[in-house]
Amino acid sequence: MRPFFPVRERKRPVFVAHRGASDRALENSPAAFALAVSDGADMIEFDVRLSADAFPVVLHDVRTGRTAKENLAVARTPAARLRAVRLKNGEALPFLDDVLGIVRGSVPINIESKTPGGIAAAAKALSKAAYGGEVLLSSGLRLECLAARALLPAIPCGLVTRRPSASDLAFCLRHGVSSIHPARRLLTVLRLREVAASGIPLLPYTVDDPADASALIAAGAVGVFSNRAQALREAWRNSP
């Protein structure tokens, strides 16, 4: 399976808009996604959790309280109740179908499953929407990566991890996982070399400083996840 990095073929790193354009709008909000689309983002990343009745909700945390006006446990709340929740910017808490409707295939998206069953729910939503845009799936749960390979074998999937271990690399190679997404703060020179030697494309998260991004790209990263993806992309374009 070919790894999926849309601008890599043009010899430029991928600057992924982490939770949308989250430097200029509330993370994982419709406004953040609309801004990232307007930017022509290289890719938009967002998180998916499941409601009590297994509908995919776009939210990073287990509970809604950090970004919404109410503090509900997503996994214990039915979708109908969650659809009434308003984010702190006044917008509705988005579901996956809402985000697919905002993006409409105009830029690539990365759907990260935060919970068991998230990939299966995403597969249903993508099918229902007849979504024709480019998609990268990902998860920090290995069983979710395996579900992605089984349910949507034509769509690449990345493994999210804190620090890329030998076991992580072996898992990716064994199961055709297309990329590895580690925490930037836990990466060492040795770890970078080990990933480079494996041949698995590396996209660290979350990198907001242009100098840090440049150093990681020079060390072999194919791109980075960033809350300031547009600013980093502009900095890269304007670099000598």
Rounded distance between C-alpha atoms, residue 31 and residue 91, angstroms: 8
Give the distance from CA 51 to its chain's centroid.
Answer: 19
The architecture (CATH level 2) of 27-154 comes to: Alpha-Beta Barrel (3.20)
Distances (CA, A) of 203 to 117, 127, 164, 195: 24, 27, 11, 11
Instruction: Encode pLDDT of 142-193 as tens digits.
Output: 999 999 999 999 999 999 999 999 999 999 999 999 999 999 999 999 999 9
The average pLDDT across 68-81 equals 98
Distance CA 240, CA 233 (A): 14
pLDDT of residue 1 exceeding 50:
no
| pLDDT surpasses 90 at 9 | no
Average the pLDDT over 47-63 and give the result.
Answer: 98
Between 216 and 9, where is the model more confident? 216
Q: Give the residue range(s) of CATH 3.20.20.190 domains in the chain.
A: 27-154, 156-240
Examine the pLDDT at 8 and tell me if it is beyond 80: no
> Is 156-240 CATH 3.40.50.300?
no
